[in-house]
Amino acid sequence: MTTDPLPSLMPALICRAHGDPLGLSVGEAPTPRPKDGEVLVAVQAAGISFVDVLMVRNLHQNKHAVPFSPGMEVVGRIVDCGADVGDLAVGIRVAALVYDGGHAGFAVARASETFVLPEECDAVRTAALLSVALTAELSLVERAGVRSGETVLVGGAAGGVGICALQLARWHGAHVVAAASDEARCAFALQAGAHAALTYGTDFKERFRALGREAADVVIDPVGGVFAEPAANLLDWGGRYVIVGFAGGEIPTFAANRLLVKNRAVLGMVLGHYRWRDQDGLRRAAASVLRALAEGALDSPIEVVDGLAAVPAVLARIADRRMIGKAVVTL
């Protein structure tokens, strides 16, 4: 329980009608209280992501009735606890996943999705990268079982998941080939740590092999679309293809006969299902991600905005695909 009185109202970014992110506005909302198994975090920084855009547009698989506040990843200090929260306590600095409400003064998080933040971890960087880094780590390790020395091909390599995937794959000892839609994004991926980078399109397979790599052991695919078929055809015997999303707008299909004869596997990865079904796997991934952050292995560009009023414009830019890297709001 908290030892200090909490305000009855808090500042919050409020979605009153689904649709345009620019329709969001800052107002006041009741300060939530944690139930058993939950903690209340005084938000210091919160990530801003494409998932927030989907929530506001009512296109996310988990629907949110209005009014609500977006925001799904926060960093701050615990100010109140329900019962049964393990070793978590008031005053501890944490990073947490939340289902909504992160763009507010206080946010409730499940204890199982709240992680003690090492002092070496920067609050802003952690808030910006938590969910995409967890997605990348779960894809690479829990799903694909990546091993040192393997070749990893990462699609959408200039996006949030893609940047984290290429940096974490390299951190795990893999050789990383990035793929992106244009030369500028490829240059960005190289700067972020990829060993090589290719644009999508004609002769992708031949250009990949010209790099001196005959095949990929692992493919991480957040985009689908034009990347999927040539990437799948580059999988080695026993290769693992992890589907993370369909940012390219087209859901791919895979030739079952090629999967059969090459002993290949196509795997799905949704962060939300780890939160519900495999909390041990989630905690393993979180420990690895926080260690990588503490060591400086995750270094995506981050745009920092001050105050909730700046968030709608950032969401609009994300919706229009005018953002490279991640964004975070500080409170």
Residue 62 burial (10 A CB sphere; 0-12, 13-18, 19+):
exposed
Contact criterion met (CB below 8 Å) for 309 and 173: no
How confident is the model over 177-187, as a mean pLDDT? 95
Q: Which residue has the higher pLDDT, 276 or 244?
A: 244
Per-residue pLDDT at 2: 57
Nearest to 318 by CA among 308, 309, 327: 327
User: Per-domain residue ranges for the chain?
Assistant: 9-117+301-330, 132-272
Pick the CATH number of 9-117+301-330 from 3.40.50.1970, 3.90.180.10, 3.40.50.970, 3.20.20.70: 3.90.180.10
Q: How far apart are CA 264 and CA 261, in angstroms?
A: 8
Predicted TM-score (pTM) of this structure:
0.92
User: Rounded to whole angstroms, what are the CA distances from 281 to 58, 131, 204?
Assistant: 29, 14, 34
Question: CB atoms < 10 A from the CB of 93, how many?
Answer: 17
pLDDT digits (tens, 9 = 90+) for 2-41: 556 899 999 999 999 999 999 999 999 999 999 999 999 9
Nearest to 219 by CA among 281, 282, 264: 264
Pick the CATH number of 132-272 from 3.30.2290.10, 3.90.180.10, 3.40.50.970, 3.40.50.620: 3.90.180.10
Residue 45 has pLDDT above 60, yes or no: yes
